[in-house]
Each structure stands twice: as structure tokens, then as C-alpha cells.
Structure 1
Amino acid sequence: MEEAAAAPAMRAPKRHRSDYQQVPPGGGGSGGGEGLDDLDLISGLPDAVLGTIVSLLPTKDGARTQVLSRRWLPLWRSHMAPLNLVADRHLSDNQSRAAVVSKILSDHPGPARRFSLHIISLRGFRAKVPTWFRSDTLNGLQELEVTNLHNKRYPLPRRSLTRFAPTLRLLKLGSCYRLRVLGIAVPSFPHLKQLILYKVCISEKSLECLISSCVALESVSLQSVGFSRLCISSQTLRCINLHALRSKGGELVIEDAPCLERLLPDFPKDGPPTIRVISAPKLEILGFLSKGISTLDLGTMVFQKMVAVSLTTKMQTMKVLSLNIGANLDYVVDFLKCFPCLEKLYVILHDGKDINSMWKHEPLDSIECLELHLKKVVLKNYKRSFIDFAKFFILNAKVLKEMEIRDLSRESEKSMCYQLRELQVEYRASRDAQIVLRSDTIARPTNYGHTYDLSMADPFDSPFCGCDKCVTYI
């Protein structure tokens, strides 16, 4: 009897997870003797953590987590998982999309993290939009994206921006060149960090006021937005991205931007033709620059059609530069002289009447970045006629770590090896440099759909991902 009474005390202790949290009931699988590898460790996380995971998933996937187990069933419809609603072609077909959006907004109690709406031309869809914007589920909305795919003018509901302004962190109005915000007074966005305008009709005065009044703004992306003269002043702005601007004779002036790190005119041949930087003491990433910029004024450094006309000072902060100016070595060397601390250089090569691939001027000892700082060079659209251009960096960049030469010709591996020998890699100035010649699949700069993404340390240092953002630029 004594042994029987002592038996319960001798049972094995309850198993605990490695982080000292008790395994939840049913979290260990079907049997009582399973190993730690069979445990459902994710379901043991706190509700707040699981809710964050659900909120970051695509809309369909987030809703499907309800069928995983009783543990996950209530999460998607709870305040622990702020709604991430993306109403596009991935959510449902066009015929049923309005009903699906209405159902989700009625089922989820809120708050909402993100609402991304693609407005389509089906009858009755647009009529529901104002009702959706008034839904209590969207309380506390942090990210608002409105994309008008309708071929007729569509006014953004007048009060929607004002309602969401106190909590928005991202505002994107895109693919909707008939979307009008001219009649709406510019509200205050105290927490807005990212502003993306794509084919939006907005006055210069309203845009300047919007940018300067956002006290937390970090990134502005203007795509197919027209202006004649835009002056930007912001104490918090870190990135300005410009793409295919509808500007004839337009001018961009950076008057006062003490935190600006990136100035990215992706395809400046579409505008603005004049860029003046008056005050941006932390600017370190610049590009893509091309001859589409008739005047580039960086303080006392002035370039006209990418030709240096005044180089009285140097910009010590510049670390990354991307050029789309062909294979003219004179132009490139002028930029190297302006930016003595440059660490990465991207050059998009192409044929033209002013090709100059050989250096025939003064010695290069005065170019500080070649001596001390330039560690990476990437050449796109390379062909054999540009061999002297590539050799210039191989033979003169003394601290080079990596050189990537991308060739569109799709030549054989044997031909690639022969070209490497022609480049005289064995005589490279930096013995640590890795010289790589590889085939490329796209002639334009890669990753241009994400250049305004501040989470990327180098916006030019990623391959073409093929996502919707990048494909729209091709």
C-alpha cells in the first residue's frame, strides 16, 4: 500500500519547452511519448505574437489560419490580429470581390493595420467604396493604398483621408491618373512615414504643404506626377524617389533636408530636367543619373548634361552612386572626383556618339576614392567594345573587393572565360578583388520597384525580383 501511495509522486514531471514555458494542452501531437521535435511550438506563443503573425500574412492566408486548430480559430477575428485587407485580384475574382470585401469588414472587429483597395469598373463596386471607408473595422488604420483601375474619373471619398490621417503611417494613391485630391484640404498626418503618389493630380502648393507638414515623414515617392517647380523642405525626410515625372521644364529643389540620405531619380529622362540640392548634408545615395537631367546642382558642384562645369567643392558623404550615362569615362571620372569617399559605383552602359572608354588625361593619383574607398563596381549591358572602360577600374581601383560585369549577349561559358582574359584580371590593382562576368536578363536597372524601401541598405544591390512593383516599371 505504501508503494501504491507513493506512485503518483514518482511520475515524470510535466515536460516544458526549452524557453521554460509549459507546453500547451494538445500542443505535443497525438501521443504522450513524442519527442520535442513533434511539439507544436508555434501554437504555444502568446496571443499577441500569433496575432502579429496573422496580420502580416496575405488576406486569404490570414483567414485560412482559422482552420489550423482550435488554438488558431479565434485569432483572425480578434483585436489581437489587426486586419490586413488587400482587395485585389488575389483576393477573389472581379464578380465576387465586392461581396468578399463587405463580408470581411463586417466579420472582423478591427482594428485594421492595412487596407489596400483596387477599384475596378464593375457596376456597383464603386458605390460600395464610401461605405467601406466608413466601416468601424478600419479604426486605427495604419496603411492605406487606393489604386483606381477604372477608366473613369473617381474622386476619393472626401472625408476618408481626414478620418485616417491621425493614425496613418503609409499612404499610397496609385495607378489612378484621374484620381483627384485637389478639392480636399491637406490634413495633418502626425505619424505618416511613407508617401507614394502614382499618377495623382495634386497641385504643387498642396504637395509641398503635405510634405513639410508631416513631422514623421521618411520617404516620398513621386511617379508620373507633374509639376513645374517643386520645393521640398523637411526635417525628417530620408528618401526622395522620382520616376517618369510629367514635367516639361520642371525643377526639383531640395531647399532644406538635414536628414536626406537618398535622392533617386530612377529614369530622369522623363523629368525633372533640373535638380538643385541646396542643403542635404547627409546625402549618401544618388542615382540613376542620366543626360535627361539638363542641370544637376549639388551645392557648388554643377553638371550640365552630366558634364562637370564647376567642381569647386567635394561631397564627402556620398557612398553609393548609380549612373546611366553610357560608356564615357570622362563623365564618370568627374563624378569620382566629386565624391572622394564613394564605396559603390553602378554604371549602365550603352552605345552612343560620345563613347569614350579610355583614360588619356592626367595621372589618377588625385582620385581619392580609387585609392582608398571604392570597393564595388557593377557594369550593366556590357559588351566587348566597352573592354577599356572595364579595365580602367580593374587596373586602378586599389581597394576593390568586387566587380560585377553583366553581359546581355548570352555568350557561351568558353567565350566568357576568354573575355575575362582580355580584361587582364591578373594585373588588377587590388589583389583581393573578385572579378565576375555573367549573363544578364534585363537591360534596365534592377530592383527599381523598391528603391524607396529604406529597409534596403543599398537600393541598387538586389536582383530583379519580378514582383508587381518592379514589373510595372518595365
Structure 2
Amino acid sequence: MLGRDSPGVAAAVSRVLTAHPGPFRCVHLTCSTMDAHRAEIARWLELLAAKGVKELVFVNRPWPLDLRLPASLFSCTSLTCLHIGVWRLPDTAALPLAAGFPNLRELGLHIVLMEDRDLAFLLDRSPVLETLVIFFAYQTEVRLRLVSRTLRCIQVCFSHFVDIAVVDAPCLERLLLWVTWGRGSEGSERSRVKIGHAPKLRVVRYLQLEMQGLEIGDTIIKVPFKLNCIHRVLGFG
């Protein structure tokens, strides 16, 4: 873990990662000024990829938020768990065709700037992903379109999305939405939650109908009274 902005700390991390024979079970990399350590970070990611890192927490803290996530992260193909925070996702259209996370089962995106295509790319390139966590995604025009053959649990917290569409998720069991809303100020414009093909979905929690419209297939769910929060167990056949 990097703490204070110190060349000595960065040098020590470099020595440790170089000397360690691997594989790495779990690594946390955080820094107060990640932008000041670009060269070191590039080398660290190379070492982590070469030495088979399994779990990685990679946070640029506290700011700038608009800093691009290094594309070399996609070379860490051994990852089974990845949580990234306070980054802008790279231009996924420019990434190599082979870029991806073939072993990734858990992905967390925390205060991450992204476009529709970026999230679609991550899902497409994570063929065994089971858990997706999105925390504080606040862009106003992003649509969350979920297509995954393996996802079992999705958690979205404190986020702006125009639409959240479960298009094709045959293994999805749990959809947890906590304080998500649309393009306006909180509560002034509702986002739409649409559930398409999700035959194993059994739990939808924390849905706030004054902030979210709910559609299941071709059916629009409405209630005749204000419901601040519902905790329901639903069956979809």
C-alpha cells in the first residue's frame, strides 16, 4: 500500500514487488498522487501480471478523478478479484483485442468515470464474472446494460444511471439497488429499471419507486402510493 507521497515509499514498493517470487495472493495499491508515479505504476502492473496476482485493489486517491486507468492493468489476466477506485476507464475501443480478465469473478467500480461501451467491454471480457459492484457512478448519461452469462449478483449504490437494463443474465440471482437515480437532481427524474431475461432472479432489494421505474418484461410495475423503500423477494419463471 502506498500512503504518503514519498519517493522512498515508491522505491520500497518497487523493491518488494521485484524481489517477491510470486504468485501474489492479494495486493492493495493506493496513493495520494497516483499521477506522480506513472512510471512506477507501469512497472508494478507488469510485475503483478508476470507473477500471477489474484486479488487487486487499485485506488487513485483522493483526486484527480479524471486520471485514466492504465491500460496495462488488462495484462493482469490471472486476477480473480479486482476493485478499482477514483479512475476514468481507458478508451476501451483502443485496447488490444486480447485484453480482458478471463479468470475474474468479482469486479468493483468505485467512483469510476465510464461510458456505456466501457462497462459493456468489461462484462464482455470477463467471461466468468459472478459479482459486479458499482459505487458512486455519477455521470448523467450512462446506461447500464447488463449482458452476461455468468453474473449472479449485481450491487449498484449511490449512482446515476438513465437506465438499468438486465438484458440477458440467465444466472443472475440478486439485484441490489441502493439510492440510484436518473439525470436530474435526486428524485427529480427517475431512472428506469428493466428486467428482461433473468430466469433465476429471486431477490430485488432496496428498490425506491419514487426514484426508479420498474419494468419486468413488457409489464410496468406501479404502486398507488409513495413507497420509500421496498425489500421484496420476486420469482421470475
Matched, 1:128 2:35: no
Structure 1: state its 5+ residue gaps. 1-86, 310-323, 327-331, 341-474
For residues 183-205 of structure 1, the C-alpha deviation after alignment (integer angstroms, 9 at most, x for no partner) is 55272322111111122222212
Q: 2:196 — aligned with what?
A: 278
In the alignment, residue 116 of structure 1 is paired with which amino acid?
H
Q: 1:129 to 1:228 in 2, by over 3 A?
A: closer
Deviations 1:376-412 (A, max 9, x none): xxxxxxxxxxxxxxxxxxxxxxxxxxxxxxxxxxxxx
Stretches of 4+ aligned residues off by more than 4 angstroms:
269-272
1:146 aligned to 2:58?
Answer: yes
- Give the AA of the match of 1:185: L
Match of 2:178 in 1: 266
Q: How does 1:395-410 map to 2 (within 5 A)?
A: none
Residue 231 of structure 1: which of 145, 170, 192 is its match? 145
**Residues 112 and 276 (structure 1), Cα distance of their counterparts in 2 relative to 1, 3 Å cut:** same
1:383-422 superposed matches below 5 A: none
Task: Spell out, residue by residue over 1:233-278, the C-alpha distance to the aligned partner (whole angstroms, 9 max, x if none).
Answer: 111110111112233xx01111111110110111134687110001
Deviations, residues 116-174 of structure 1 (Å, cap 9, x unaligned): 2112228954442122222268521222221011533433333231x212x11122221
Q: Answer yes or no: is 1:156 the counterpart of 2:74.
A: no
* SS in structure 1 at match of 2:100: coil
Partners of 2:70 and 2:90 within 8 A in 1: no
Which residue identity does 1:223 align to in structure 2?
F
Contact 2:33 2:61 in 1 (8 A): yes
Gaps of 5+ in 2: none
Larger radius of gyration: 1
What is the percentage of aligned positions where both structures have the same residue? 27
Q: Secondary structure of the equivalent of 1:112?
A: coil
More strand by share: 2
Contact 1:291 1:325 in 2 (8 A): yes
- TM-score, scaled to structure 2: 0.78
Relative to the length of structure 1, the TM-score reads 0.42
Instruction: Summarize the Cα distance change of 1:117–1:254 in structure 2 as closer, same or farther, 3 Å threshold.
Output: same
2:228 matched residue in structure 1: 325
Is 1:243 the counterpart of 2:153? The answer is no
Alignment correspondent of 2:221? 303
Q: Tell whether the 8 Å contact from 1:112 to 1:138 is kept in structure 2 after alignment.
A: no
1:292–1:144 distance in 2 versus 1, CA, 3 Å: farther
**Whole-angstrom CA distance in 1 between matches of 2:153 and 2:35:** 40
For residues 59-78 of structure 1, what are the structure 2 equivalents within 5 Å? none
1:119 matches 2:16: no
Given that residues 302 and 308 in structure 1 are in contact (C-alpha distance below 8 angstroms), is that contact kept between their aligned partners in structure 2?
no
Structure 1 residue 181 corresponds to structure 2 residue 84: no
Q: 1:137 to 1:108 in 2, by over 3 A?
A: farther
1:341-398: CA deviation from partner (whole Å, max 9, x where unpaired): xxxxxxxxxxxxxxxxxxxxxxxxxxxxxxxxxxxxxxxxxxxxxxxxxxxxxxxxxx
Question: How many Å separate the matches in 2 of 1:185 and 1:122?
Answer: 21
Please state which structure has a larger fraction of its residues in helix: 1
Matched AA of 2:106: Q
